[in-house]
Amino acid sequence: MTHHSLRARLGVLIAITLAGVAADQLVKALMRTLLASGPRTLIPGVLDLVLVENSGAAFSLAEGATPVFVIAALAVAVGVTAFVARTPIASLPLVASLSCVAAGGLGNLIDRLVKGTVTDFFCTTFVTFPVFNVADILVTLGVAVSLVLFVRMPDPDAADAKCATGDKSSQEQPHG
């Protein structure tokens, strides 16, 4: 079982979270400028760019619930940080995927706090789907990858039990 230092785990967390938030905010600023004159087709029949200021969640659900979204985003960021800090067996890919979740939540949080709405712009044209942004992509991919990695994460209690009982079946045996 590989243990990564707290410094390595927090370094990955901070770097990816900051990069994700920066990318999200930069793209949103660019889209607000680019789309001020109206929508544009990005991939014909697949994806358009449409400027939408959303005060709710997906499908504009829970409009006006900004305090709830602020608390939720902060709770996710704190929870991810606490998990990363307290889980030495967390792989760096798991830390990276959780960092994407935190980055997406914080990116949309910044919008809510600064503007009162979240800037969305990716609009699928081949299927009815909520308009979304880079932060939403980070959250979605981060959650999906994290779930896969959590399932594959070793059970620290099982590893400790093997060590305590002297079970060496998973260790390399010398050849005689």
DSSP SS3 for 24: helix
Q: Quote helix, strand, coil % in the chain, to nearest 5.
A: 60, 10, 25
Burial 7-29, CB ≥16 within 10 A → b, else e: eebeebbeebbeebbeebbebbe
- Dihedral sign computed on CA atoms, order 152, 156, 157, 162: positive
Cα 36 from Cα 50, distance rounded (Å) = 9
Catalytic residues: 120, 136
- How is residue 1 annotated by DSSP? -
DSSP SS3 for 46: coil
Closest CA relative to residue 59, chosen from 135, 147, 118, 11: 118
Look up tokens 């914080």; give the residue. 106
| Burial group, residue 46, by CB count within 10 angstroms (0-12, 13-18, 19+) | exposed
